[in-house]
Structure 1
């Protein structure tokens, strides 16, 4: 039985809101423990249209990562060899040897060259997604209520659900000029839009037994906090202090999924993520897919 939000922290000596020991003192899964067999089988029923959406932003973006990550080597091909272990060959892996052509008649030059309405918009809420902006709890709840009303069936949270919040950051990023993008990446302390720090949001996530949070913003939460003395960061409670052991997904590509949700009047879907199997790793490419 999950303790109530008011019972946190479970040990008075632990950090605020923490749930250390809830799933055992040797636990390494945190809120992923909520994703039991029943949760997964119920989630599979969300696949009704057969539409699939990759939520992975390009590994080459952002060009100038925030949080001083641009000061470290930022290459991927040198960090891991995608054909070293378990793998799947892509369509550009092998060409017709005589013609030198790949799938659909593409040449080597073709495949190396780069490829060429949300709630806020509906309600006239405008903001610069590349700057500091806190998405308010009240707006998130109003958005959820509207989506539930527009859906064919009311949206009801279930244990182990994954909550995704689209801020519009990645869409805005692609519109930035080169100097604007570089300036954004170099800002210290980092500035980013995201969910505003609000204890009501913490209570909501805990009581709804949300297993993972994610979005298209660089940190999911607004940084630096714009509210007066919030008293916490989501990273502290959800992840860094390992208060709940709740994973945070960031910089997801949600545009295609958002358009499909609006088109079909459905804001719930099957969601899967298969992080790289890197023992001792601090993070991994998301490798996420949503299915309607």
Structure 2
């Protein structure tokens, strides 16, 4: 009976697609060129996967939502290029001087090959110390110990270690597409909302929707009548870099080394741990998300779960942190445009 219902449902979807010119993703692996995808509440149950998992691109998939960056979507995104201005969003490798969560500091050594003739540079760094992409091996779904697409700790370290879901797969695919910037920091300032981005401050979906409206953007997915396209890249400015620049070296160092306080001691502004945020991030079908804060989500979490678990482990969505969005926000404000063409080159390092 269940099989009959499923067949009937699929047939109904096919008829609707024919009438609406849509192509709905139904059969796993999903076709990334589809024009309609299930909402979070409509996700199919995948055998062996945790609840809410969207491991839908095939058993051997290593790039998750980057599958949405199809040639046709990238070509369409290129139309966002109008002035040809380039705005880098990488922080210098030595910023912050003391990385968050007490991570190792950046070290630069100049090696002399031939005095006054040739030199090499040697970098020592924790890749989570500054501007970064959180790879799929960075954060698991804690209750089940699953990283994206069933990757386990034994795939990362040990005698059976392999390159499953290594970030080099992203590098081989590439990241390029249409991006949207939500300048929450400027919005909060305009509304008299005062907060220190070096302290816990949860940014709710309602606030982001209001921020988008102030910028002239309906942040709902296009399927719901909004301005977010399938495969867009979301960037949120919380004001971390602005705050960093205003603090003394001692204050910066103390913040990165905070510990204790019933958690890891770290406190940062970021998106709230709430169902509305999860539904929006999932249903918008962003190819990737990122922000200027050390954790993207408000830290520490106020729930028994982290947004990281959903974004990385359950949905396979690349997560960027500590992007320098100051100049980008300024340019967007000057141009009155908050969408643009975005590219990034993840580390091409097998096993990362």
TM-score by length of 1: 0.75
1:14 to 34, 43, 49: 49
Query: Is residue 23 of structure 1 aligned with residue 45 of structure 2?
Result: no
2:213 to 145, 149, 152: 145
1:171: how far off? 1.3
SS in 2 for 1:127: coil
Query: Is residue 210 of structure 1 aligned with residue 242 of structure 2?
Result: no
Higher relative contact order (CA 8 A, sep 6+): 1
1:175: how far off? 1.4
1:237 to 310, 319, 328: 310
Q: How does 1:237-276 map to 2 (within 5 A)?
A: 237-239=310-312, 242-276=313-347
Residue-by-residue CA offset, 1:168-227 (whole Å, 9 max, x unaligned)? 00111111112211110111212111111111111112211111000100011111024x
SS in 2 for 1:174: helix
Residue aligning to 1:186: 257
SS in 1 for 2:106: coil
Residue aligning to 2:300: 224
Closer, same or farther: CA 215–50 of 1 in aligned 2, 3 Å: same
SS in 2 for 1:164: strand
Distance 2:341 2:44 in 1: 32
Distance 1:26 1:222 in 2: 32
- Once structures 1 and 2 are overlaid, which stretch shifts more, 271-280 or 154-163? 154-163
- Once structures 1 and 2 are overlaid, which stretch shifts more, 246-255 or 192-201? 192-201
Distance 2:276 2:217 in 1: 22
Q: Is the 8 A contact 1:134 1:225 kept in 2?
A: no
SS in 1 for 2:200: coil
SS in 2 for 1:236: helix
Query: Is residue 5 of structure 1 aligned with residue 50 of structure 2?
Result: no
Residue aligning to 1:135: 203
1:12: how far off? 6.5
Q: Is the 8 A contact 1:31 1:210 kept in 2?
A: yes
Q: Is the 8 A contact 2:100 2:256 kept in 1?
A: yes
Distance 1:269 1:149 in 2: 13
Query: Is residue 126 of structure 1 aligned with residue 126 of structure 2?
Result: no
TM-score by length of 2: 0.63
1:155: how far off? 7.0
Number of residue pairs aligned between Structure 1 and Structure 2: 234
Q: Higher strand share goes to which structure?
A: 2
Residue aligning to 1:78: 122
Q: Is the 8 A contact 1:148 1:155 kept in 2?
A: no
Q: Is the 8 A contact 1:216 1:251 kept in 2?
A: yes
Query: Is residue 66 of structure 1 aligned with residue 100 of structure 2?
Result: yes
Runs of 4+ in 1 over 4 A off after TM superposition: none
Q: Which runs of 5+ in 2 are unaligned?
A: 1-24, 26-36, 109-120, 125-184, 219-224
SS in 1 for 2:343: strand
Closer, same or farther: CA 127–202 of 1 in aligned 2, 3 Å: same
SS in 1 for 2:215: helix
Residue aligning to 1:284: none
1:166 to 234, 237, 246: 237
